[in-house]
Amino acid sequence: MTDTTKTAPWRFRQPSVLPGFGLSLGITLSWLVLIVLIPLSGLVFRASGLGWSDFVALTLDPRTLNALKISFGTAFLAAVINLIFGVILAWVLVRYRFPGKRVIDAMVDLPFALPTAVAGIALTTLYAPNGWIGQVIEPLGLKVAFTPAGIVVALIFVGLPFVVRTVQPIMEEIDKEVEEAAATLGASRFQTISRVLLPGLMPAGLTGFALAFARGVGEYGSVIFIAGNLPYVSEIAPLLIVIRLEEFNYAAATAIAAVMLAISFAMLLFINSIQAWSRRRYVYVA
């Protein structure tokens, strides 16, 4: 890194007058390596010990594929529902006034703070055939607890704050002048929302969606109580990992874990590139 100022176009970091780069990055990297990277690479190392053909065989096992399909399918559905209702909720919280608004706003964080096992037991208590909600919907022919619908309910609970908390700040930044301009130009309120406001919320909405999705795919504690856990019907991938472990089948467990890890990593990379992209595109000057 000598004499980078004049000629070299590549440099590790832009010059800055602020001190502490080495120290802070050092702490960050060592902690990251110690707590996250070494343990995770242990997993990858174990999985790589399987050999490629074994690994492929274990992942393409129909039971595994089905579990992954159920995990990703229910997480996707829950994330879509959370996206729709999360945006509405955020809009109501940002734009309208009603009694108890602060309470509702605070409550949105509840799933972050409530232990997942407690959430799972509480949701099962509610949606079981003899629960408060189950009693009402069961005669209507709707079954939630112990079906894939139960998984979706648990994942909605777990993922909701991710959407609301990503969209909310961006909504607050929206300049009213934009809406006024659209209205002056003859746009109806519906047109203003669908053509002007929603596109601006797209990156945030997408990020929230992806986070809720990523979280939902890996969720275990709240799901196992309510899912029913039938193979090929309501058996989620994390449960299959646990089942493989109970069979002392570490190879299969690590293979599924490695696949899930790779997918979550790819999704996070995707989210962060959306964020970086939108930060470049929509610059809000405070």
Q: Which of residues 92-111 bind another protein (CB under 8 A)?
A: 92-98, 102, 104-111
On whether the CB atoms of residues 172 and 186 are closer than 8 A, the answer is no
Rounded Cα distance between 140 and 91, Å, is 32
Per rule CB under 8 A, is residue 282 in the interface with another protein? no
DSSP state of 32: I
Q: Which two tokens stand for residue 179?
A: 């809406």
Q: Which two tokens stand for residue 10?
A: 């590549």
Per rule CB under 8 A, is residue 201 in the interface with another protein? no
Rounded Cα distance between 14 and 140, Å, is 63
CA dihedral 27, 28, 32, 33 (to 10 degrees): -50
- Interface pick for another protein out of 6, 7, 9, 13 (rule CB under 8 A): 13
Site string for another protein, 161-200 (x = CB under 8 A): xx--xx-xx--xx--x--xx-xxx----x--x--------
Smallest gap, in angstroms, from Cβ of residue 119 to another protein? 6
Under 8 Å CB-to-CB from 108, ≥6 apart: which residues?
89, 93, 160, 161, 164, 165
Per rule CB under 8 A, is residue 265 in the interface with another protein? yes
- Interface pick for another protein out of 20, 51, 194, 198 (rule CB under 8 A): 20
Site string for another protein, 45-64 (x = CB under 8 A): -x---------------xx-
Smallest gap, in angstroms, from Cβ of residue 115 to another protein? 3
Rounded Cα distance between 173 and 284, Å, is 8
Per rule CB under 8 A, is residue 126 in the interface with another protein? yes
Smallest gap, in angstroms, from Cβ of residue 108 to another protein? 7
Per rule CB under 8 A, is residue 231 in the interface with another protein? yes
